[in-house]
């Protein structure tokens, strides 16, 4: 069965910063952080080693659209060019 080439690396990327791909660090206590995308300030225990923080809302932005597209796809081989 065909596998998307990056699927095997997905778990490795789960602990990478969305801004700079550096490793994430997990703090013992919450700290006030500013989202690097929307600039909302909130408490979190997770940031990258370079200090970047991305809030959950920005982290999942667009996910509904992607899931909707995937669920509406009828092709058995969607990775092939469909002329769209």
pLDDT digits (tens, 9 = 90+) for 10-26: 445 568 888 899 999 99
- The dihedrals phi and psi of 68, each to the nearest 5 degrees, come to -60, -45
- For residue 36, the model assigns a pLDDT of 93
Domain boundaries, the chain: 12-70
- Percent of the chain past pLDDT 70, that is, above it, reads 79
Contact status, residue 21 vs residue 49, Cβ threshold 8 Å: no
Closest CA to 53 of 38, 65, 68: 38
Note the pLDDT of residue 49: 97
Q: Provide mean pLDDT across the span 17-37.
A: 94
* Global confidence as pTM: 0.63
């Amino acid at each position: 069965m065909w596998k998307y080439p990056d699927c095997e690396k997905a778990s490795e990327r789960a602990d990478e910063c969305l801004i700079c791909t550096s490793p994430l660090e997990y703090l013992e206590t919450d700290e006030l952080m500013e989202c690097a995308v929307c600039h909302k300030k909130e408490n979190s225990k997770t940031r990258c080693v370079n200090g970047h923080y991305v809030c959950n809302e920005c982290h999942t932005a667009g996910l509904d659209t992607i899931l909707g597209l995937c669920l509406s796809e009828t092709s058995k081989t969607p990775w092939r060019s469909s002329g769209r």
